[in-house]
Amino acid sequence: TIQAMLTITGMIDAAGNVAEGVLGGTVTSIVGIQTLQMGVFGGIIVGLGVAALHNRFYKIELPAAISFFGGSRFVPIISTLVYIGVGILSFYLWPFVQKGIYALGGLVTGSGYIGTLIFGLIKRALIPFGLHHVFYMPFWQTAVGGQMEVAGKLVEGGQNIFFAQLADSANIAHFSADATRYFSGEFIFMIFGLPGAALAMYRCAKPEKRKQAGGLLLSAALASMFTGITEPIEFSFLFVAPMLFGVQVLLAGTAYMIAHMLNIAVGLTFSGGFLDLFLFGILQGNAKTDWFKIVIVGVIYFILYYVTFSFLITKFDLKTPGREDDDQETKLYRKADYLARKNGSKDTKENVPTDEKSDLIMKGLGGKANISDVDCCATRLRVTVNKPELVNQSILKSTGCSGVVQKGNGVQVIYGPGVTVIKANLEDYLESQENVEYISENREDTAASKETDTVANDAAQVEKTIVIGSPLNGICQNLSEVPDEAFAGGMMGEGACMIPEDPYLYAPTDGEVTFVFDTKHAIGFQTDTGISMLFHMGIDTVKLDGQGFEVLVENGQKVKKGDPLLKMDLEFIKKNAPSISSPILCTDLDDNMKVRLLKTGNVQKGEDIIAVDILA
Active site residues: 377, 536
Q: Is 233 helix (H, G, I), strand (E, B) or coil?
A: helix
**Cβ contact 379:70 at 8 Å:** no
443: closest CA among 477, 414, 406? 406
Neighbour tally for 71: CB within 10 Å: 24
Q: Which is it for the CA torsion 146, 149, 150, 153, positive or negative? A: positive
Alpha-carbon distance of 336 to 33, in angstroms, equals 40
| Contacts of residue 199, Cβ cutoff 8 Å, sequence gap at least 6 | 217, 221, 306
Strands (E), 330-451: 371-376, 380-385, 403-407, 410-414
Q: Is 307 helix (H, G, I), strand (E, B) or coil?
A: helix
Residue 14 — φ and ψ, nearest 5°?
Answer: -60, -30
Q: Is 22 helix (H, G, I), strand (E, B) or coil?
A: coil
Q: What does DSSP say about strands 601-603 and 549-551: parallel, antiparallel, or unpaired? A: unpaired
Alpha-carbon distance of 50 to 272, in angstroms, equals 30
- Report how far apart, in Å, the C-alpha atoms of 514 and of each of 348, 350, 424, 469 are: 60, 58, 41, 18
Q: List 156's β-bridge partners, or say none.
A: 147
Helix axes 132-141, 158-167, angle to 10 degrees: 40
Residue 583 — φ and ψ, nearest 5°?
Answer: -70, 130
